[in-house]
Structure 1
Amino acid sequence: MPFFQSTFWNSYSNIILLLIGISVGSCIGIFFPQTIHFLKPVGDIFLNLLFVTVIPLVFFAIVTAVSSIEQESKLGKILFAMMFTFLTFVLIAAVFSLVAVYLFPTERPTGTTAAKVVENITDTESWGDRIVRFFTVGEFYMLLSRQNMLALLIFSFLLGISIRKSDPSKVKTFKSFIEGGNEIMKNLLLLVMKAAPIGLGAYIAYQVGTLGPQLVGFYAKPLAVYYGAGIVYFFVFFSLYAFIGRGPQGVKLFWKNNILPSFTAISTCSSLATMPVNLDAARKIGIPASVANVVIPIGTTIHKNGSSISSIVKIYVAFLLLGWDFFTFNNIIIALGITVFVSVVAGGIPNGGYIGEMLMISAYQLPQEAIPAVMIIGTLVDPLATVLNSTGDTVAAMVTARLIGEKYNPPIS
């Protein structure tokens, strides 16, 4: 089988091409710094295309997801326990990541000028003003600005609920429009992301040429922190969750049956592709089908332990590049909020982790100079993030079963 048609290439081609683009851009920035001012417009064009694509995509994706939820009262108990479990796991992962970046700090590159672009407003606004700005806008057209992503998310949720409460015969055409828009914008984002190796490569060339070769080495420390924290979280916390779900036997059964899902996640970099293997692992562990068949498919979309950890690391990296102090109460609370929203809304969207960057812009009012850096971090952590995202659904199903008092089936050898 030709290499470019192999499973490996299909799974990792985006990462490989992006790494090539970053490497070429870094070399250009180091050895041909006189060319960087010609390359920066290429990077800016890519970022602008990404910005204008993501905004309508978020709107269509959320409205479609919320309006399509089937109301099943008998599932209420499972859904409540599931959402409690998801939220708890995501917040634990985020707090653990906060501790990791605090204990293993990274020195920011000297000479950064991005911090001069905009002042950090988080210390000058009152909580009341910040809440109003985060959650609402004064005019409808302002929802379409990337500076107001959180308000757009809330409006989209409310619109989706309104569609569900409307007479299906009267909103059929509008719902079809929303679903069609969602499909089109997904494909548009995939099309734009094909230019990521060139766009981000051009931008990294500009950053390296401006800040110096030190920027290349700058990525090593936060990546090491992410992979170190992610691996510890994977073995320690997942074992703890399995113990909560089914005691000592649960830990043994989880790790015995989690090998294949873990390797599937690594080889495909897709939580969706891992879902069937997770469902089979849940059956072998003995998780009741009534729980596993609800928790694992929904968790594939809205439960993201790996994305929670990477979200904190990306925000931390952005603050380092801007020369801002990340470890303030206000910034940490906002970071936790962003992490929860990213976990919920990013799963059903191709390259959904980039939604986090849009929320960062909105919440912290970041200059776009910091965005390529966190996009690169997000891409490089994708394999481990997929393992944590996908296999975390299995332990979530175990804990959910325990919370609602469901009896486990005998494990299957």
Structure 2
Amino acid sequence: MKFKASTLFTLITIFVAALLTLLNHYQIAAIDSQVLIGFRWLAIVGLFLYGLRKKSLTSWILISMVVGAEIGNDFPNIGMELQVLSKVFLKMIKTIVAPLLFATLVFGIAGHSDLKQVGRMGWKSLVYFEVVTTIALFLGLAAINISKAGVGIGNPPGVAEELPKVEAQTTSDIILHIFPENVAKSVAEGQVLQIVVFSILFGIALAMVREDKRQPMLKFTESLSEVMFKFTNLVMYFAPIGVGAAIAYTVGHMGLGILVNLFQLLATLYVALIVFLMGVLFPIALIVGVPIKKFLKAIAEPVSIAFATTSSEAALPRAMEAMERIGVPRKIVAFVMPTGYSFNLDGTTLYLSLAAIFVAQAAGMEFSFGQQLVIVFTLMLTSKGVAGVPRASLVILLGTAASFGMPVWPIFIILGIDELMDMARTSVNVIGNCLATVVIAKWEGEFDENANNEEITTI
């Protein structure tokens, strides 16, 4: 009965707050701003009551996003000061990634000593990644050519932020970037792909040594992976605060009005990403036989973290744990997901193809279909490994613009709403990589349909 009462209170307060806000926005009724703020915070109290009854970490993360948006809107100065909390959360997550990847990959490869399976998973993963990202690439290209969001945009008189100067990457640079020269440096710089390459080679080498030499290291990596998953659980208690602070900062320094100013570009990206999710990833899930309800429940938390922090890396540890809980073996999760962070950037690939042509349209540059293909395929190569870094795709975009003689000023227009765009594309990156682990597990015949599906977000 108490649960029903708190739920009813939550729904009523949210409805009243939304109704009053709409009436005031469309000037149907003049409502004092303080009254509006009061009703919105009353709705938040209702959400808190719901969260106390639900006792789910995912629920608290979603509630904190609402609270953060309200703080950023009502008290922008405070919202901007809260950025330090989101940075603390991201720093703690980054401490998890390298040891977790190393431990799970090495144990997954050397623990089973099946090097043929490692090679098999490698080519299957790469085939799947390239097919899906190529579809995303063409979808982004089609979306911007249909909407023509960049056509007619004039060169603004000034810019609000400086972007780093980026030299165009050569093929040699791209290839060399894959391989680590110093594993400690790779860990310090958060180079996920380099950590993966080192861990795979280390695991293969460990599988080739004598049993008495292999077992101590295997036990160490197994224990380390278990400890890092528990470490992740501890850090996740701070997730609602970190996520709420990230949203408060975004709304505080941008304001909600930015949505209106560049709505066409935002709408083009969001619609294209929704089409990709429903027209590509959802059919793949159905064809492969993914348990949709169980899968959606498992990805809710990592996707919400990725959306708020605009960092796929922040969602990686929890996403790995969630996929293992729904039936994907740890050795497959440990191999496919971090590899996908470099080769399966569905949302980023779609965004980059869309953004590159937007820059050309805004600059009034006419590119043939063949020239557009060259641009977007270049972007697909240069974007490997950027998913873990917020707004790193802007750096990739700058490098590509330099390569094809495009001006920089249209990128500053994108910069104004890049965080809002980054939220969507990062979420799609995480969804795509979670799905990829299930697809490869099904392909390998190792998906456990009867896996323990207990709620992993309970606190």
**Which category describes the TM-score, using the shorter chain as reference length?**
0.5 to 0.7
CA gap of 1:388–1:328, structure 2 versus 1, over 3 A, is closer
8 Å CA contact retained: 1:68, 1:164: yes
- The one of 284, 288, 312 aligned to 2:346: 312
8 Å CA contact retained: 1:29, 1:207: yes
**C-alpha displacement of 1:161:** 1.0
Say whether 1:134 aligns with 2:165: no
Name the counterpart of 2:128.
Answer: 89
**C-alpha displacement of 1:262:** 2.6
Name the counterpart of 1:36.
Answer: 79
Paired with 1:231 and 1:134, the residues of 2 have a C-alpha distance of 32
CA gap of 1:334–1:212, structure 2 versus 1, over 3 A, is same
The correspondence of residues 232-381 of structure 1 with structure 2, limited to 5 A, is 232-234=279-281, 258=289, 261-269=291-299, 270-272=322-324, 274-275=326-327, 311-314=345-348, 328-335=376-383, 337-338=384-385, 356-357=387-388, 374=422, 378-379=426-427
**C-alpha displacement of 1:177:** 1.6
Query: Is the partner of 1:357 in helix, strand or coil?
Result: coil
Name the counterpart of 2:275.
Answer: 228
> Match of 1:43, as an amino acid?
S
Name the counterpart of 1:168.
Answer: 211
| Equivalent pairs, count | 331
**C-alpha displacement of 1:35:** 1.1
Deviations 1:28-77 (A, max 9, x none): 222211213321111121121122222222222222222223338xxx5x
Paired with 1:62 and 1:28, the residues of 2 have a C-alpha distance of 41
CA gap of 1:163–1:203, structure 2 versus 1, over 3 A, is same
Paired with 1:370 and 1:328, the residues of 2 have a C-alpha distance of 19
- The one of 213, 226, 229 aligned to 1:183: 226
Paired with 2:341 and 2:199, the residues of 1 have a C-alpha distance of 22
> Match of 2:382, as an amino acid?
I
**C-alpha displacement of 1:95:** 1.2
Computing the radius of gyration from Cα coordinates, the structure with the larger value is: 2
Deviations 1:77-103 (A, max 9, x none): x88776544432222111111222232
**C-alpha displacement of 1:9:** 5.8
**C-alpha displacement of 1:164:** 0.5
8 Å CA contact retained: 1:55, 1:144: yes
CA gap of 1:127–1:166, structure 2 versus 1, over 3 A, is same
CA gap of 1:191–1:234, structure 2 versus 1, over 3 A, is same
8 Å CA contact retained: 1:147, 1:361: no
8 Å CA contact retained: 1:42, 1:202: yes
Unaligned runs of 5+ in 1: 243-253, 277-295, 340-355, 399-413
Paired with 1:371 and 1:382, the residues of 2 have a C-alpha distance of 16
8 Å CA contact retained: 2:207, 2:214: no
Paired with 2:347 and 2:382, the residues of 1 have a C-alpha distance of 14
Paired with 1:199 and 1:226, the residues of 2 have a C-alpha distance of 26
Name the counterpart of 1:205.
Answer: 248
CA gap of 1:99–1:397, structure 2 versus 1, over 3 A, is same
**C-alpha displacement of 1:208:** 1.7
- The one of 30, 50, 55 aligned to 2:98: 55
**C-alpha displacement of 1:157:** 1.1
Name the counterpart of 1:291.
Answer: none
8 Å CA contact retained: 2:100, 2:225: yes
8 Å CA contact retained: 1:303, 1:393: no
> Match of 1:233, as an amino acid?
V
8 Å CA contact retained: 1:230, 1:309: no
CA gap of 1:263–1:321, structure 2 versus 1, over 3 A, is same
